Structure 1
Amino acid sequence: MSEQAKLLRIYTDEAAYFGDRKVFEVVATRARDAKLAGATVVQALFGFGRSAHLHRPHLLEDDQSLVIEIVDAEASLRAFAASLGDIEGIGLITLEAVEVLGGDNIGGAIA
């Protein structure tokens, strides 16, 4: 049986810090603390954003683009995204419909 869910994508990069922690670690920890179904951090091979700065692998730098993906119920994801307003270093945040075909039941959050 398929379930309707939403996919939250948060764009950042490896070089972004919030205090003394990397932004992607802070976001993933907050997602766990918010009891969201799970978070995956995906490293891009190449990327750029509004500034047109190219993020790509480099021997001496950690500056690759990252995408944090979280699938859960829409209300939970909207509330979570709103809670990230204090974190600098987050770029684009998107929310889109997805259909969960298998795997875990997203913690029962999706009817």
Structure 2
Amino acid sequence: MTRLTGTALRLTVFVGESDTWHRRPLCSEIVHRAHAAGLAGASVFRGIEGFGASSLIHTSRLLSLSEDLPVAVVIVDTEERVRAFLPQLDELVTEGLVTLDACEVIRYTGRGAGDGDGPGPGARGGTAS
């Protein structure tokens, strides 16, 4: 498991839900490439409403406009590893927004870490503390 604490970089990629890369959802391709690159982790968040450079508002509230909802792929890792991954995004993201933010990792643990705190992040049925 990758160890990650302290100063890090958060990479956020905003694309449309209908964006694809070789007939595969673009957000899925980004996640799989991040995994193959050994990055600490990636999560995809589906938006309920938004607009981008096209200025078209996409919303889940109107069926006719819900075909291309916004999606954000968030990746956090060391600055060196995130910056090394950026050339892959140049190839993949032809429309969208890519941002970088400095952040601080307070805790990064997975299931079975043996810390006695119970389920790790993303476990079903756990309680937040």
Q: Using structure 1 for the length normalisation, give the TM-score.
A: 0.84
Measure the CA separation in 1 of the matches of 2:29 and 2:106.
29
Work out which of the residue numbers 101, 108, 112 in structure 2 matches 1:103. 108
Is 2:121 the counterpart of 1:86? Answer: no
Distance 1:97-1:35 versus aligned 2 partners, 3 A rule = same
Work out which of the residue numbers 38, 42, 61 in structure 1 matches 2:45. 42
What is the aligned-residue identity percentage? 33
In structure 1, runs of 5+ residues without a counterpart are 106-111
Measure the CA separation in 1 of the matches of 2:79 and 2:90.
18
Higher relative contact order (CA 8 A, sep 6+): 1
Distance 1:22-1:77 versus aligned 2 partners, 3 A rule = same
Measure the CA separation in 2 of the matches of 1:14 and 1:94.
18
The aligned counterpart of 1:7 is: 10
Measure the CA separation in 2 of the matches of 1:96 and 1:73.
11
Q: Using structure 2 for the length normalisation, give the TM-score.
A: 0.73
Shift of 1:59: 4.0
Larger radius of gyration between Structure 1 and Structure 2: 2
In structure 2, runs of 5+ residues without a counterpart are 111-129
The aligned counterpart of 1:51 is: 54
Measure the CA separation in 1 of the matches of 2:41 and 2:109.
10
Shift of 1:30: 0.3
Is the contact made by 1:4 and 1:100 (CA closer than 8 Å) also made in structure 2? yes
> Which segment drifts farther, 36-45 or 56-65?
56-65
* Cα RMSD for the two superposed structures: 1.8
The aligned counterpart of 1:21 is: 24
